[in-house]
Structure 1
Amino acid sequence: MEVMQVLHMNKGDGEASYAKNSTIQNKILRLGKPRMEDALEKLLWRRIPESMGIAELGCSSGPNALVAVSEIIEMVYKKCLETGHPIPELRVFLNDLPCNDFNCVFGYLPAFYNKLNNLHKGPRLGPCFVSAMPGSFYGRLFPSRSLNCVHSSSSLHWLSQVPPGLESNASKVRRNKGKIYISESSPKWVVEAYYMQFQRDFSEFLRSRAEEIVGGGCMILSFMGRRSLDPTTPHSCYQWELLAQALMSMVSQGLVEEEKVDSFNAPYYAPSVEEVKLEIDKEGSFEISGLEDIEINWDGSMEDEDEGQAICAAESCGKRVAKLIRAVVEPMLASHFGGELMMDDLFTRYGDLVDGYLSKSRTKYINLVISMVRRHNN
């Protein structure tokens, strides 16, 4: 599986599209806003530049693509009004892999510009140039020292590739049998391969951003992670365990080849706080200004238990979770399994398994939110 070609959310605005099934990602954006506000306040307190470069990495498509950028610009605008500083020229870069549905993103630009032009009754917003920057953020994307603020949400848990040894064309002797990600039953070498790939990718991400961000610039990242040192904890991997079970139930009925399941592994890794800190310290260009982890229900709700149950009353939590996961992973599954895999059947099974699991467990996603400042002396 060539990740660069297949790692994209379901396109368009149909019932299975990411545009209609990205409530978890929107919830993460809202929960990360206080950390972003704090990072921007510190950045703008030092100096408001005449021209400001803002990058959204892993923008994806749908209504969430411009949410963080809009909030960052509004914060800049408010700070300029408070201080009497001229509003800077704004250079906004929307990044994702070339296979991303950028046309969908561009469709939201008229509403985006209209919102910016009606922010407040103060001076009209100055020039704001928005452009797409397709490519992998596990490498250089922008000119040296061209960015003041980098934001990324719900993206860095995706790896640049399936770990070596786990690719679909790897030797049959080394298989993560019956699984599609790290599991309690996975061989030790599988866990090690995933961790090593995360180290390579995240260190390259940091090195690349260190070249592109000005001294004193900020970076705000949020992505799936875990609190435990153990990568097999349910908080970090059980959604994949249940998807593997759904696939294997189809294998048992002769609907899918077992070899196809054994040779599929998700290009994903949910790191621990300690693993993230270690790579940041090793690279050395950034100082962590804030780090927190947030619990999120699998169906995207964050309300108290009674309200969460009310949300699930109209449609089971399992069905909601299945829709959210399908919008994210269907392109990868379709590429690997081809027409052999009936998606409606798979995600009906998956939803039933999720309902059964959540009836006995309160497992939640753990999302890490990190703000960093680019050191001046590196």
Structure 2
Amino acid sequence: MATMLTWKNKRRVVLGITGGIAAYKGPEILRALQRAGCEVEVVLTEGAESFVSPMVLSTLAGRRTWTQDDFLSQEKGWEIPHINLADWAELVIIAPCTAETLARLVQGRGESLLDATVLATKAPVLLFPAMNSHMLEHPATVRNIKEARAMSYTVVDPDEGSLACGYEGKGRLPAPSVIVEEAWRALSPRKDFAGVSVLVTAGPTWEFIDPVRFISNPSSGKMGFALARTAWYRGADVTLVSGPVSLPTPHGITYCPVKSAMDMYKAVIEKMDFAKIIIKSAAVSDYRAASIEMEKMKREGKDTLTLNLVQNPDIAAEVGARKSPDQILVGFAAESSHLVEHAKEKMLRKNLDLIVANDITATDAGFAVDTNRVKIIKKAGDWHELVGTKEEVAWGVLNTVSEMCQKEENR
């Protein structure tokens, strides 16, 4: 069965840009939203026009940029742009959101086109405060952020770093990629994991033989990262334990990087009691060197090399033995033959509640590719197939996990 993430197609976003120095990043944010497949209407406050050109934004957007002059003007005011924009929007993003704009939104004022649009919309609203760190820490700003959250606005904390004013501290506008990720979380059609703690493992492990050589496998971590990100979109509090990968650290997720199987074992056992759902998608090395050479081994005079290997802990089996009745454990099986039979045996042996099996000989599945073809097998023995990108497969896997959670709650 093919999966499609249709909920990400052509989402309608109003991007509000206010009068802070970070407004110069507006074109980057606009382009990032467009690359993600969104349709974007841009609204500038009067102050924002001092930092970024409406013509630049209109050229990039391929449509007019709305300014304060459009609000109550003879030419455009009769079109009631704030109502039309509010009704059109599926999401409103204000980035950057200045202290002044934040205060006006909390007070419910509608003097500007952007303020009035927010007042009139039923769409979720994302606020990205960006300002001098002292302004951010001022009691009035702290209070306004608290009140905005109480009014169901999502307020995303700013980053720390070098500020335009020369300060070092909190107040930077997050990267456009972060803004897009927050947009997807706000637009996700399912929030079935809201407040649920999810623990995901991903990637390979490195089992060192000497300081420069190790035993590993080709796992890229893409499947595990997709599962972690998708669970976060759907409201979960996610912890991701990952072996060495080249993927960027995912936003919004507690990230725990490890190297060896023993490192991963310790991290998972330490964190498992706090998780309702545990998804073991890492490709953990079954064996490690019995001893690690402290210096690089030389090959001179050696036609062969014999390694003494010992078994690593079976993390999934250990979690399966320790888990409580209300925890759900999902395992992965990468097989080269007899896919369903081997996966079912693994599920029984490790006390898994669900197993996701993929054929590593398939060209569109398995290690280091962006697509996957898996069979999701339940304890009862029934299974179904999912085909698609790893994010699409992750969505389908979590649909099955969600159904299991609902059955648990209804018991």
What TM-score comes out, normalization by structure 2 length?
A: 0.23
Higher share in strand? 2
What TM-score comes out, normalization by structure 1 length?
A: 0.25
Higher relative contact order structure (alpha carbons within 8 Å, sequence separation ≥ 6): 1
Rg (Cα) greater in structure: 2
Higher share in helix? 1
